[in-house]
Structure formats: structure tokens, C-alpha cells
Amino acid sequence: MKKYWPHIVVLTVLVLVIAAAASQVPKLLKPPERHAPIPVQTNPRWVMTVNVVTDQRATAYTESTGARPASSGQPYTLGSVAVHPETPGGDPTKPIIPYGTTIRLINPKHITIQGQKFNHLKVIDTGDVYWSLRNESPYWIDLYFGTTGSWSYREASRFGVKKVDYYWFHVIDENGPVTGVK
């Protein structure tokens, strides 16, 4: 018996390990608990749309000191833009992209105005009321380059007409478009 003692201990430990593992098998084979499905909201409270436009024309403009506010009623600021009205020759206070919307540049990644780089721009004004660029560039943007002066006017002229790609999004809730979304 003395010479079999180590074998009996090893065998006993092995039997206990196998028994412990076997007691865990039913838990491992048990299917996961089913939870109630997440209800699908059939009447969403809001919707977000992302709008991407490519190959649109961008121009630059300046405003004289003391000019009336932009068509949105907001003051002109660097990093703001004008866009077409909704309809050619239509109400200039109804832009094709709503006032306050932030458009984000894709290509180029940024535009430099008076030494500042802008990768997003805010819609505050309308321009090209008769849509002279409609067929070529329905989502044209006109960047505000500052108060008219020899330097800002020259920089706006140098900017010329460039092609840009950009996007913006709208959030619409049960009361209509949500404004001021960043």
C-alpha cells in the first residue's frame, strides 16, 4: 500500500478535478437567457439627414462698413457664407440651406481667410438671388472675407472661383427643423 500511496493521491485529485469540470458542463451547454427584444420606435421623435455636395463653386465677397446685416439679420463674421435662395428670384430670406447651418469642408480641408483657417462655415446670408450659377452649382457658397478695404477686397478677388466639396446635416423633430445644431 505504501508504494501505491502517491498514485492514489494523484488519482483522487484527478477524479475531483474531473468531477468539478463535469459539474460545469450543464452551465456551459445551457442556452443564453433570452431578453425581451428592444422595441422599435415606429414614431421617431427626430430624424437626421446628412447632405453631401461635391464640385460646387465657391466665391468670396466683402461688405462695406455700416452695411445692413446679412439676410438672416445676423452680423457678418469671418467663417460665414451666403448661399442661393430656395428658388431662383424667390424670397432672399429663405436660403436653400437654412440659416445657422454649419457646413463642413471635405475638399479642400480648410479655407484661409485673413490668416485664419476655417474647416466649417456658418450660413448667414443669401446671394446670387437669380441663380446665375444654378445649373453649374446649385449649392454654391459665397465666403465672407471681411469689411471692404483694399486688402480684403484684393484677397476676395484673388480667391476667385474655386470648387469645393462639403456636407451639412439637418435634425428634424415633430415640430419641424431644429435650428442651431452644431
State pLDDT tens for residues 104-147.
999 999 999 999 999 999 999 998 766 666 677 889 999 999 99
Q: What is the largest CA-CA distance in the chain?
A: 111
58 shares its domain with 27: no
Considering the domain boundaries, does residue 37 fall inside one? no
52 shares its domain with 25: no
24 shares its domain with 88: no
pLDDT score at 108: 96
User: What SS3 class is residue 160?
Assistant: coil
Q: What share of the chain has pLDDT > 70, as a percent?
A: 69
Find the angle CA(27)-CA(33)-CA(39) to the nearest 5 degrees.
Answer: 165
Considering the domain boundaries, does residue 21 fall inside one? yes
User: What SS3 class is residue 26?
Assistant: helix
Considering the domain boundaries, does residue 139 fall inside one? yes
> pTM higher than 0.75, yes or no?
no
pLDDT score at 90: 80
161 shares its domain with 131: yes
**What range does the domain containing 138 cover?**
46-178
54 shares its domain with 23: no
| Interatomic CA distance for residues 148 and 107, integer angstroms | 27
140 shares its domain with 75: yes
Task: Please tell me the total count of domains within the chain.
Answer: 2
Output the CA–CA distances (angstroms, integers) from residue 73 to 67, 70, 145, in the order listed.
12, 5, 18
78 shares its domain with 149: yes
Cis peptide before 108 (omega within 30 of 0): yes
Find the angle CA(165)-CA(58)-CA(117) to the nearest 5 degrees.
Answer: 75
Q: 4 is written with which cell numbers?
A: 501505491
The phi, psi pair for 17, rounded to 5°, reads: -65, -45
Instruction: Report the CATH number that the domain containing residue 110 is assigned in CATH.
Output: 2.40.40.10
20 shares its domain with 96: no
21 shares its domain with 51: no
Question: Which position has the grid cell 447651418?
Answer: 101
Cβ atoms within 10 Å, residue 2: 5
8 shares its domain with 59: no
Greater confidence (127 vs 165) lies with 165
103 shares its domain with 167: yes
| Closest of 110, 120, 109, 107 to residue 169, by C-alpha | 120
| Closest of 94, 65, 95 to residue 81, by C-alpha | 95
pLDDT, one tens digit per residue, over 26-50 is: 555 555 566 666 666 666 677 778 8
